């Protein structure tokens, strides 16, 4: 189906498949490389499916991929125990993004070179801060990743490929409802995007008409008490991206 292009990352790959005895019911096989300290997506999907959460890709199977009888991971299976931090050219960390001040100067320089005058209030304005927070990931190159496989029972296409505005709005409504049900079941998705919202317009495919995928970054919000409880503190997420 698709492969996520990357140099360092989850390297997600998806295939469409089916059981030999049931070719009319497609399955989606998803392979990815994940940090082992995160909750396994397969376990989260199995939990959501067992609770009857609607409009989310339903669980079929999950496993850790094994090669020659051992778990397929970065440190042992790929690097064979090689410690890259001992390399003479090893550098910890990554390049920092351009600051707002430098970005403002660069924009003014480009404007001047183009010979187009702009109001000072516009030219001196700094870039707005990044609104969407990114999940923290270890910057150490020796951090391990494990090859996980998840098999799903629902197949579709990205929501922006819907055949009509009506189909798109209907799919969006279903995904919003599914997101709420998932949260009520005890899981917060945290990675909603146009590539994770799916629509199924094929009547021959027994999948949800609308559903969302990608629980790679999902978490279980921990609460000390139910929301609205008087006299008790409640820990909740300050912002839910949808």
Domains and CATH numbers, the chain: 2-73+144-212 (1.10.510.10), 91-133 (no CATH)
In the prediction, which pLDDT does 9 show? 82
In the prediction, which pLDDT does 231 show? 42
Pairing of strands 2-3, 13-19: antiparallel
In the prediction, which pLDDT does 90 show? 82
Task: Check if the beta carbon of residue 155 is closer than 8 Å to that of residue 210.
Answer: no
Neighbouring-strand partners of residue 34 = 146
In the prediction, which pLDDT does 238 show? 40
Distance from chain centroid for Cα 176:
16
Neighbouring-strand partners of residue 146 = 34, 73
Q: Which backbone phi and psi does 47 adopt, to 5 degrees? A: -65, -45
Closest CA to 200 of 239, 156, 242: 156
Give buried/exposed letters for 188-206 (b at 16+ CB in 10 A, else e).
bbbbbeeebbbbbbeeeee
Express each pLDDT in 154-179 by its tens digit.
999 999 999 999 999 999 999 999 99
Low-confidence ranges of the chain (pLDDT < 70): 1-2, 4, 93-142, 223-242
Task: Check if the beta carbon of residue 223 is closer than 8 Å to that of residue 232.
Answer: no
Q: Residues 75, 80, 86, CA angle at the centre, nearest 5°?
A: 70
Task: Check if the beta carbon of residue 89 is closer than 8 Å to that of residue 160.
Answer: no
Q: How far apart are the first and last CA of the chain?
A: 25
In the prediction, which pLDDT does 123 show? 46
Q: How far apart are CA 241 and CA 189, in angstroms?
A: 9
In the prediction, which pLDDT does 87 show? 85
């Amino acid at each position: 189906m698709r492969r996520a292009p990357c140099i360092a990352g989850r390297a997600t790959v998806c295939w469409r498949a089916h059981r030999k005895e049931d070719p009319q019911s497609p399955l989606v096989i998803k392979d990815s490389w994940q940090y082992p300290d995160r909750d396994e997506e397969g376990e989260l999907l199995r939990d959501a499916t067992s609770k009857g959460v609607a409009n989310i890709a339903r669980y079929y199977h999950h496993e850790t991929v094994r090669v020659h009888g051992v778990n397929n991971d970065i440190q042992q299976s790929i690097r064979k125990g090689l410690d890259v931090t001992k390399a003479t050219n090893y550098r910890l960390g990554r390049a920092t993004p351009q600051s707002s001040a430098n970005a403002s100067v660069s924009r003014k320089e480009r404007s001047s070179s183009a010979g187009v005058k702009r109001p000072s209030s516009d030219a001196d304005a700094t870039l707005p801060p990044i609104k969407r927070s990114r999940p923290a990931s270890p910057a150490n190159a020796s951090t391990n990743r494990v090859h996980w496989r998840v098999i799903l029972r629902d197949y579709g296409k990205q929501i922006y490929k819907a055949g009509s505005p009506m189909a798109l709005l209907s799919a969006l409504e279903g995904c919003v409802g599914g997101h709420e049900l998932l949260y009520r079941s005890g899981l917060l998705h945290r990675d909603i995007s146009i590539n994770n919202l799916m629509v199924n317009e094929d009547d021959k495919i027994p999948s949800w008409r609308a559903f969302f995928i990608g629980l790679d970054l999902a978490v279980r919000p921990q609460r000390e008490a139910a929301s609205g409880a008087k006299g008790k503190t409640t820990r909740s997420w300050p912002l839910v991206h949808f």
